[in-house]
Chain A
Amino acid sequence: MKPSLPSDASGSSTAEAQLEADSPREECVIKLSGDWSLGEAVPSWEEVVGHKKGTKVRIIADHLGTWDTSLLLFLRHGRAWCLAKKKDFDTSSLPRNLQVILKHAEAGALFKPAPKETPVSFRFFLGRETIKLINYGEEWAIFVGNCTLGIIRLLRGRGKFRWLDSFLEMQHCWNSSLPIVGFISFLVGVILAFQSAVQLKQYGVAILVVDLVSLSVVREMGPMMAAIVVAGGTGAGIAAQLGNMRVDEEIDALETLGISAVDFLVLPRLLAVTIMMPILALYANIFGILGGVYICATMLSIPASAYWVEMHNRLNFCDIFGGVIKSFAFGILIALAGCLRGIHCERNTAGVGTATSSAVVTSILLIILTDAVFAVIFNSLGI
C-alpha cells in the first residue's frame, strides 16, 4: 500500500485517507480524514507516527468521510504498535460505532487453533494403516453377512422386498450402459484384431486372429468391459443415491420404522445388477466379435462366413459359460460395493462424493482381483 501523507492540514476534502500527527505536549494527536476504502492507498502508521514523541496517542476523526475495513485494519495495527512501544492508545474521541467495532476486533481468540498434525513415525503409520485395513475388512464381512441373512429372510418369505425398485434399477442399468458397452466392446474387438493381425500375418496364420479375438473377448474382455462400465455408471449411481438417502436421514427413518435397510434398499439393487450383468456381458461379447469380424473382413480378407466357421470350431460352451459365471460375480461385487459405500456414507455432502468415487475404485479393484482368481480356478479345472 502506498502511503499518502498530506503536507498541509486542509486536505480533508480529498478522497484519500489522510491523517495528521501533531504532538503539542506529551500527546500525539492523529486526525483521520477523507474516505477510506479497501484496496486504495492508505497512509502507513509507522511513517506518520513513527518519529513522533509523547507517551500517548489519541485518535480523532472529526472530518472522516466514508470508511470500511481498511480503517479498522489501520487502527488495529496502530493499537498493536502502541502496545509494543508501551504508549497509550486513546480512541475515546472516535465515533461510538467505531469504538464498539474496534472493541470487538480487539477480542482475543475464543477458539484455540486446531493443533497441526505432527509427522508420524513409520511404525505408527504402519500400525494405523493395518488397523484401517482390518476395520475395512470387518465392514465388508458384516455387510456381506447382513446381505446373506437378508436373502435367507427373503427366501423364507419374511423379508420386505421392493420389486419395483429392482425393476427400476434394472431398467436404469440397461438404459445407461447399453450404448457405451456396445461401443467400447466393439472397439476392444477392433483393437485386439488389429494388433494381432499385424503380428500373425507375418507368420502366415492370419486365420488365427479369429481364434484370438473370439476367445479373449468371450472369456475375458466382454465380461470385464461390461463390468467396468457398469461399475462406473450403475455402481456409482447406487452409491450416490444411497449416500444422499443417508445424508437426508431417509435410511434412519427406515431403521426407526423397523425396516432393515439391507432388505429394503440393498437386496433389490443387488438382484438388479446381478441379473443385468451377464446379459450385458453377452451383449458385449457380440459387439467385441463384430469388431473382430470388421477388421478381418477389411484388413485380412477373411469373410464373415469364414470367421463364423473358424469361431464355431474354436469356441465351446464352456468358454461362454465361464464368462457368464464371472459376470455374475462381477455384478454381485459392483452392487455390494455401491451399496456398502452408500450406506456407510458420511453425513455431509462431501461424503456423497467420497462414497461414490470409493465405490467405483473398490468395484474395479475387486473386478480385476476376482478375474485373476477365476483364471486360476478355470485353469486348474481345465476349462
Chain B
Amino acid sequence: MHHSKSPVNAIEVNNLTCGYGETIILKKLSFSVPAQELLFIIGGSGCGKSTLLRSMIGLLPPEEGKITYFGKNFIKASEEQRRDILKSFGVLYQSSALWSSMTVGENIALPLEQYTSLSKQDCQEVVALKLAQVGLSGIEDLYPRELSGGMKKRMALARALALDPKIVFFDEPSEGLDPITSREIDELILEVRETLGTTIVIVSHQLSSIFRIADRVLVLDHEAQGIIADGPPKKLARESTDLRVRNFLNQN
C-alpha cells in the first residue's frame, strides 16, 4: 500500500503496437510512468486511448511490444506471474462494472477471497475499511442497483483498492457525473495517491479534471496513431507548438 519511491518505473511501455485484427490503432508507442505519478491519457474520440488502456490491463493482447510493471514483463509472463501482476493493479471501469447479482460487500470481498486467505471476519473488516476510505461506510448490504452514479464510482474504487494495488487504472471516472460529484471523485483520487502512494493512470477527456489533478498528460492522436504530446497539462496548453494539442487543451 504505502510504497516508498522506487527507482524502477511503475509502468514501462515499449514499442507497443495494438489494434483489432487488421486495423492497427496504435503504432510503436513508448512511454514510462514513474511510481506515484498521476498520469492522464487524453485525446479525441477514436484516438485509441481505450485501446491502450485495454492493452495495458491485459484485455487486449498487443500485436507487438512490451509492457512492464515495476520491472516485471506483463506480456511474456507465465500464468502465475500474470496473476501476481494482475493482483498488483486495480481497474475502475467506465460503467463501474459492479457485479449486479452481488451486494456491495460481496463485490469488494471477491478479490480478497480470490487472492488472500483471510478469514470471513477479517474479510468483512477489510470491506468496512475500504468503504470507509471512499466515504461509503455501512452500505455493505445494499445492491449496486440501489446506488447513485457517484456512489457506484466510489464503490468501484473501493473494489479496485481491495488488494492494496500499486497502480490503479481509471477509465473515464467522471463520465456521466455532475460537476460537483466529479470534483469529489477527483479529490478522492488525489487522496488515494497522497495517502497510499498509488500510481494512477486515468483515461479521460474531462478538461476540468485534467487541469485540477494531472501531473502529466499523454495526448494521443488518431492520425499519428501514437503520442503527439507528453508533459504537464498547463505547460502543454501554453507552450505546445502542435495546434491539435493546443486546441484540445484550450477549449474554454
Residues of A within 8 A of B (CB): 1, 38-39, 66-69, 71-73, 76, 95, 97-98, 100-101, 104-114, 348-350
Interface size class of B (residues with CB under 8 A): 20 to 34
Contacts known (A38-B164, A67-B1); A107 close to B140, Cβ less than 8 A: no
> B132 at the A/B interface (Cβ < 8 Å)?
yes
Query: How far is B113's CA from A39's CA once the two chains are assembled, in angstroms?
Result: 11
A residues in contact with B197, CB < 8 Å? 97
A residues in contact with B212, CB < 8 Å? none
Of B2, B118, B141, B163, the residue contacting A97 (CB under 8 A) is B2
The answer to whether B195 touches A97, judged by C-beta atoms less than 8 angstroms apart, is yes
The answer to whether B118 touches A38, judged by C-beta atoms less than 8 angstroms apart, is yes
Query: How far is B1's CA from A95's CA once the two chains are assembled, in angstroms?
Result: 14
The answer to whether B1 touches A39, judged by C-beta atoms less than 8 angstroms apart, is no
Q: Which residue of A lies closest to B125 (CB)?
A: A73
Q: Which residue of A lies closest to B144 (CB)?
A: A348
A115 to chain B, nearest CB (A): 10
A residues in contact with B138, CB < 8 Å? 109-113
Centre residue among A38, A39, A95, A113 by max chain B CB count within 10 A: A38
Q: Which of B183-227 contact A (CB under 8 A)?
A: 191, 194-197
A residues in contact with B164, CB < 8 Å? 38, 68-69
Q: Which residue of B lies closest to A65 (CB)?
A: B4
Q: Which of B3-58 contact A (CB under 8 A)?
A: 3-4
Of B101, B136, B195, the residue contacting A101 (CB under 8 A) is B195
Fill in one digit per residue for B114-130: 1 if any A CB lies within 8 Å of its CB, else 0: 00111000100110011
Contacts known (A38-B118, A39-B118, A105-B132); A69 close to B141, Cβ less than 8 A: no
A113 to chain B, nearest CB (A): 6
Query: How far is B84's CA from A8's CA once the two chains are assembled, in angstroms?
Result: 34
Instruction: Give me 8 other A-B pairs in contact (C-beta within 8 A), A97-B2, A114-B141 excluded.
Output: A72-B129, A73-B126, A76-B125, A109-B137, A110-B135, A111-B136, A113-B138, A348-B145
> B240 at the A/B interface (Cβ < 8 Å)?
no
B100 to chain A, nearest CB (A): 5
B residues in contact with A110, CB < 8 Å? 135-138
Residues of B within 8 A of A (CB): 1-4, 100-101, 116-118, 122, 125-126, 129-130, 132-133, 135-142, 145, 163-164, 191, 194-197
The answer to whether A38 touches B116, judged by C-beta atoms less than 8 angstroms apart, is yes
Contacts known (A66-B3, A107-B135, A114-B141); A348 close to B100, Cβ less than 8 A: yes
Could you write out 10 A-B pairs with CB less than 8 Å apart? A1-B122, A38-B118, A38-B164, A39-B117, A73-B129, A104-B133, A105-B132, A106-B132, A110-B138, A113-B141
B148 to chain A, nearest CB (A): 12
The answer to whether A101 touches B133, judged by C-beta atoms less than 8 angstroms apart, is yes
A309 to chain B, nearest CB (A): 59
Centre residue among B117, B140, B163, B164 by max chain A CB count within 10 A: B164
Q: Which residue of B lies closest to A351 (CB)?
A: B145
The answer to whether B137 touches A107, judged by C-beta atoms less than 8 angstroms apart, is yes
B190 to chain A, nearest CB (A): 12
Of A39, A69, A97, A108, the residue contacting B129 (CB under 8 A) is A69
The answer to whether A105 touches B194, judged by C-beta atoms less than 8 angstroms apart, is no
The answer to whether A67 touches B2, judged by C-beta atoms less than 8 angstroms apart, is yes
The answer to whether A100 touches B195, judged by C-beta atoms less than 8 angstroms apart, is yes
The answer to whether B4 touches A66, judged by C-beta atoms less than 8 angstroms apart, is yes
A71 to chain B, nearest CB (A): 8
B35 to chain A, nearest CB (A): 12
Centre residue among A66, A71, A101, A348 by max chain B CB count within 10 A: A101
The answer to whether B2 touches A114, judged by C-beta atoms less than 8 angstroms apart, is no
